Amino acid sequence: MESPTLIGTANKKGQIYTDPKRLFFEAQRTPAFLTGSEVIKEAIRRASVDVMVAYPITPQSEAAALIGELFAEGYVGDYMRGESEFAVMSQCAGAAFGGARVFTTTAGPGTLRAYENFPMWAGARLPIQVIVTCRGINSPLNIQPDTLEIGMILDTGMLVWHAETAQDFFDWILMGYIVSEQPDVHLPLAVCCDGFFVTHTKDTVNLTPADMALPPYDPYRSPVPCMDMECPPVRMMRDPFVMKSNYISYATHASWQQEIRAACERSRKHITSLLGGLIETENVNNDIVIVASGTAVSQGREAIRLLEAEGLKVGLVKVKSLRPFPTEEIRQATKHAKWIFVPEFNVVGWLAREVSAVIERNDRVIAKPHVAGGMTMPPEVIVEEIHKVIKLGKGELVHG
């Protein structure tokens, strides 16, 4: 049962299991020019993954296929193609129940087909990592980037992070395992990115050495029993409370759901220690602040550059972790703002809704601009929205 520390030893590919903090913050990094999908492969090469289940759906198909190459090279313990996303997520669950470190990728409609599994993963405390490479989900058919499914995954009990760049992706996939496998967290993690904008474009990413890998998952640090019969079996419940409509049943379920949310909250300290916080901020003492996640952050940065050229200073909040939600951080970062713009790549504005729900005087939140269905968000569109409010309002609060 007791697993001796493996740090410093080599795996079958000759990679040295390295202390995570050393790997992330001290190891020599080498720049590489890669697509987002290739970056996923490079992260998994270093992640000591036991089981990966794949299924084709655009725009994640390439990443799922590239992990197959890693398996053929011997970096991944097992790899298979499932028969549908519902089955894939179930296969991931089975592997995680059996004590494996598990990885999968999904996108758009496939994420929704898989959906029943996500609250089950969280309820079963399975630290599976799924990459969500967002795309449109609604009819008519659309394969272009759109982040509606992130809004839908927020309330499953999973940790949810939204990467802006390929570099975020590389670091967060590796850091994600360390955060989600902590015994006081032990929850599934969705690392999301905006499909195509991140998956299919090339970017320079600083990679950790290929001969270093994360230490393997230790299933016996799980807060729930690993299903491998290595622990003495017990008759786990004397009474099948799950099926009975009585007070004990309700209380058990209610407290369990609260525990899942509490576990998610407990991940804050680990996220702060590895990702440097749940948000990043720039110049938030200004009257106008842009709050964004994913590639909308990049568009916000460009808009800020254009506005600065005309003499208008604007602050920026990059939201990295959506679950747990950076409630207090956003309150602090927006406390001086007269206007808070939330640009998003979806039609509903789920991030604006989240921000509005946690700050005081939330009529400061301007849920604009929105683009959807795969349209790009030129920074000029953000600038235009900001101009509109300033002109119309003449310094007063006007939006709509």
Partner 1 sequence: MGKDKIRINEEFYDIMPVEYRDMVEDATYGKEDRGWKDIGVHKELIEEHSLCAGCPESMAFRYILASLPAPEDTVMVGSTGCTSLVFPMVAVHNIHSLFGNQNAIATGLKRALTVRFPNRVKDVVVLAGDGATVDIGLDMTLQAWFRQEKFTTICFDNELYANTGGQESGLMQKGFVAKMAPVGKKFDKVRLPEIARESGCAYVVNMTVSQPGRVEKVIKNAVHIAREIGPTYVQLYTPCILEIGKQSMEGLQEMRDSEKPTQRFAFKEYISDEAKAYLADLEAKRKAAAASQVAAKS
In terms of CB distance, is 106 or 281 closer to partner 1? Answer: 106
In terms of CB distance, is 12 or 391 closer to partner 1? Answer: 12
Site string for partner 1, 211-240 (x = CB under 8 A): --------------x-xxxx-xxxxxxxxx
Cβ-proximal residues to 24 (8 Å cutoff; 6+ apart), any chain? 171, 174, 175, 208, 274
The nearest distance, CB 139 to partner 1, in angstroms, is 23
In terms of CB distance, is 93 or 319 closer to partner 1? Answer: 93
Amino acid at 363: D
83 binds partner 1 (CB under 8 A): yes
- Which single residue is written with the structure tokens 């220690």? 273
Site for partner 1 in 114-143 (CB under 8 A): 116-117, 120, 124
Figure out which of the listed residues 19, 86, 347, 362 binds partner 1, where binding follows CB under 8 A. 86
The nearest distance, CB 120 to partner 1, in angstroms, is 5
Distance, CA of 240 to CA of 160 (rounded, Å): 32
61 binds partner 1 (CB under 8 A): no
The 3-state DSSP composition of the chain as helix, strand, coil percent (nearest 5) reads 40, 20, 40
Helix (H) or strand (E) holding 193: strand 189-194
98 binds partner 1 (CB under 8 A): yes
Distances (CA, A) of 362 to 35, 104, 287, 340, 399: 38, 37, 15, 9, 12
Written as one string, the DSSP assignment of 233-282 is P----SS-GGG--SHHHHHHHHHHHHHHHHHHHHTHHHHHHHHSSSEEEE
In terms of CB distance, is 95 or 292 closer to partner 1? Answer: 95
In terms of CB distance, is 95 or 359 closer to partner 1? Answer: 95
End-to-end CA distance of the chain: 60
95 binds partner 1 (CB under 8 A): yes
- Which single residue is written with the structure tokens 């990059």? 318
Pick the stretch among 46-54, 322-330, 375-383, 384-392 that binds partner 1 (CB under 8 A). 46-54
Point out which residues bind partner 1 (CB under 8 A).
50-51, 53, 77-78, 80, 82-84, 86-88, 90-100, 102, 116-117, 120, 124, 225, 227-230, 232-243
